């Protein structure tokens, strides 16, 4: 709301006649003025303390001049820049109307079509700003004006022009409640920071409050850096879009153009995809000896969501900073592990409940790289399939060839000493695959298969006792495809998925019951069950991007959420899974996701070319 000029205010600024004061903030004072042609303009005059650095003034004039390139739709067009008394000012189109910060307290939160139009209009403004090479850096409710012809975004380009004022003080550039984590800790700031602020602003419009609160500065900053947003009852698909934009990792946020595409989709199921992309075909992995088609479904296909969306920097939650204690400066730095013979990189934190224990590299065959206990180095092994024990001290691997007596075998090796024992399992023409240790490490489950021509049919399963070095073959009749057996989270029953229905058997091969029908391509049951087997996860029946968590005992759906996961790899802890998430054609990643579909951590990143030669299974080891 305009107020009369005060005695201390100038009457003319840069040749513009001033009429009134429109507002005042940490950056400067905003006047209503008249241009040479009589058009009303808004003039923002920077505070003296911000203009004291003449190098900064020159940068300001250069950067804000660049903002004049922004297409005028959905923004307040920048008309002129200059300096008066060595203090820069910026002249922009005057938009008649309230700011979002004024309108919401007066008329209440936006809902339905009104909220959707606001989201589309402001996202379009951001897309135009970013297309001009500008990063807003201070997107917030006061900088969204509700004009008669739709929402307009103002003050873009100013924060960059003023430099990276990220000291956590009352005069900081930006509002903590709407600032991205990387902005708070002094990291590189790109368009992704604007998407974080945009999502917070739209959440404010929908709920009447900021998603991370707006009380004390330390409390707000702590929530932005460490906690999940409060989005109230915002419906899908907008809720999922906002969650993606509020990801702590800037590389896992969609661009403004991608947000617009998703807002224009009416079906929530197709709108909820993290870092949306055109359909990406799943990668095909080879069938090598006993590595059969179901194994190909168990490995990772195209993986996405890495840091490179805005820079090659590390994610913000682990960046060192000299800011006050409310920042993550005390957080431990991650251990960054170069994965041998690849360009992939793994990242680990001391508090992680699991860590990388094995990965595979494609050469003439798939070679396994196994973590050495207590180290960040890996030893190369050549097996058709292999898995480390739950404590990481032993490796169970299936050799590529039968032994001299035409037995398929399982080699169990002490990782530290290299000593091993070989257990005979099945005889030719049967083979085994899908190595799976029981949670307590006392048994190993294999799947018995028979290949006839180009067709492979599961025959049953094999239970290996590594201590006694014995194997028991359990035949299960009636199976008609290549399907893996896996422990159900305990060591006393096993499961396999037939026609998208998990069947549970005792260790004698007697079927006990079936579980609810699952959907999608999660074909390897080794990735499904929590420790103890109390619940399991898979794609929901008939839904492409929605995951369900079921109670194993009752079959009740405990949780259903839309997810950007391409392939679920297993349970990270009781409330998180880890998975792959398709991004673009250049870089890929393995990420941790909560049970609302929010990615909270990036575990592995690599170029797409490197990922073509890699795959991972549910082979992170749980620390105990």
The contacts found for 496-500 with CB under 8 angstroms, 24 or more apart, are 496/447, 496/458, 496/461, 496/525, 497/523, 497/525, 500/541
DSSP string, 543-576: -SSEEEEEETTT--EEEEEE---SEEEEEEETTE
393 in active site: no
How far apart (Å, rounded) are the C-alpha atoms in residues 97 and 152? 10
DSSP element (H, E) containing 56: helix 54-66
How far apart (Å, rounded) are the C-alpha atoms in residues 611 and 586? 10
How far apart (Å, rounded) are the C-alpha atoms in residues 121 and 350? 43
48 close to 62: Cβ distance less than 8 angstroms: no
Q: With the C-alpha atoms ordered 185, 187, 189, 190, is the resulting torsion angle positive or negative?
A: negative
DSSP string, 64-106: HHHGGGS-STTB--EEEEEEETTEEEEEEE---EEEHHHHHHH
How far apart (Å, rounded) are the C-alpha atoms in residues 360 and 381? 9
Which residue matches tokens 């997810």?
563
Strands (E), 454-520: 455-465, 470-475, 485-487, 494-498, 501-505, 511-514
Which residue matches tokens 């999940």?
228
What per-residue string of b and e applies to 426-438 under the rule 16 or more CB within 10 Å gives b? beeebbbbbbbbb
- DSSP-assigned letter for residue 291: B
Number of neighbours of residue 464 by Cβ within 10 angstroms:
23
Beta bridge mates, 397 = 386, 411
Q: Which residues contact 289 (CB under 8 A, 6 or more apart)?
A: 384, 400, 431
Catalytic residue among 9, 39, 138, 393: 138
Can you say how many angstroms the Cα of residue 189 is from the centroid of all Cα atoms in its chain? Answer: 18
Widest distance between CA atoms in the chain? 102
Task: Give the number of C-alpha atoms closer than 13 A to the C-alpha of residue 126, restricted to the C-beta side.
Answer: 31
Q: Which residues contact 131 (CB under 8 A, 6 or more apart)?
A: 70, 71
- Residues with a catalytic annotation lie at 138
């Amino acid at each position: 709301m305009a107020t009369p000029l005060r005695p201390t205010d100038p009457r003319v600024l840069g040749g513009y006649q001033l009429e009134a004061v429109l507002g005042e903030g940490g950056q400067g004072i905003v006047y209503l003025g008249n241009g040479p042609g009589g058009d009303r303009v808004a003039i923002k005059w920077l505070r003296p303390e911000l203009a004291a650095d003449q190098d900064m003034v020159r940068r300001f004039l250069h950067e804000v001049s660049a903002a004049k390139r922004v297409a005028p739709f959905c923004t307040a067009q920048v008309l002129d820049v200059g300096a008066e008394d060595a203090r820069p000012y910026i002249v922009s189109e005057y938009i008649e109307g309230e700011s979002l910060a004024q309108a919401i307290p007066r008329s209440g939160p936006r809902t339905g079509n009104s909220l959707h139009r606001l989201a589309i209009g402001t996202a379009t403004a951001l897309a135009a700003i970013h297309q001009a090479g500008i990063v807003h850096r201070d997107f917030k409710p006061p900088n969204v004006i509700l004009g008669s012809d739709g929402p307009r975004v103002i003050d873009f380009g100013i924060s960059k022009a003023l430099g990276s004022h990220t000291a956590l003080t009352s005069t900081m550039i930006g509002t903590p409640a709407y600032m991205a984590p990387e902005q708070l800790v002094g990291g590189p700031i790109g368009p992704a920071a604007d998407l974080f602020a945009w999502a917070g602003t739209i959440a404010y419009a929908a709920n009447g409050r900021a998603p991370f609160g707006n009380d004390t500065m330390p409390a707000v900053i702590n929530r932005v850096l460490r906690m999940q947003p409060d989005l109230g009852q915002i419906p899908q698909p907008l809720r999922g879009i906002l969650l993606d934009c509020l990801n702590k990792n800037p590389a896992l946020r969609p661009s403004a153009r991608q947000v617009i595409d998703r807002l224009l989709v009416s079906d929530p199921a197709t709108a909820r995809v993290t870092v949306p992309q055109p359909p990406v075909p799943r990668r095909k992995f080879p069938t090598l000896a006993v590595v059969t088609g179901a194994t190909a479904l168990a490995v990772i296909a195209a993986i996405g969501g890495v840091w490179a969306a805005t820079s090659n920097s590390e994610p913000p939650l682990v960046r060192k900073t000299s800011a006050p204690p409310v920042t993550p400066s005390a957080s431990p730095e991650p251990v960054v592990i170069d994965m041998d013979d690849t360009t992939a990189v793994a990242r680990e934190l001391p508090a992680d409940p699991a860590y990388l224990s094995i990965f595979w590299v494609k050469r003439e065959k798939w070679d396994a790289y196994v973590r050495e206990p207590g180290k960040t180095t890996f030893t190369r092994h050549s097996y058709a399939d292999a898995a480390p024990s739950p404590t990481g001290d032993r490796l169970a691997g299936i050799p590529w060839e039968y032994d001299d007596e035409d037995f398929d075998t399982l080699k169990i090796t002490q990782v530290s000493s290299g000593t091993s024992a070989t257990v005979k399992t099945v005889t030719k023409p049967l083979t085994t695959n899908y190595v799976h240790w029981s949670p307590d490490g006392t048994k190993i489950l294999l799947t018995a298969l028979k290949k006839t021509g180009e067709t492979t049919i599961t025959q049953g399963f094999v239970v290996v006792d590594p201590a006694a070095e014995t194997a028991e073959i359990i035949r299960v009749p009636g199976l008609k495809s290549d399907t893996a057996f896996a422990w159900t989270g305990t060591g006393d029953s096993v499961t396999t998925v037939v026609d998208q229905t998990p069947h549970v058997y005792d260790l004698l091969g007697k079927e006990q019951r079936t579980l609810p029908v699952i959907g999608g391509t999660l074909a390897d049951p080794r990735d499904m069950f929590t420790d103890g087997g109390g619940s399991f996860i898979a794609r929901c029946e008939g839904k492409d991007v929605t995951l369900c968590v079921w109670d194993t005992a009752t079959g009740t759906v405990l949780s259903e959420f839309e997810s950007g996961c391409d392939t679920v790899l297993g349970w990270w802890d009781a409330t998180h899974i880890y998975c792959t998430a398709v991004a673009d054609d250049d870089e890929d990643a393995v990420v941790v996701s909560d049970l609302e579909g929010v990615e909270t951590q990036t575990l592995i990143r690599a170029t797409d070319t490197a990922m073509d030669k890699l795959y991972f299974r549910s082979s992170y080891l749980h620390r105990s």
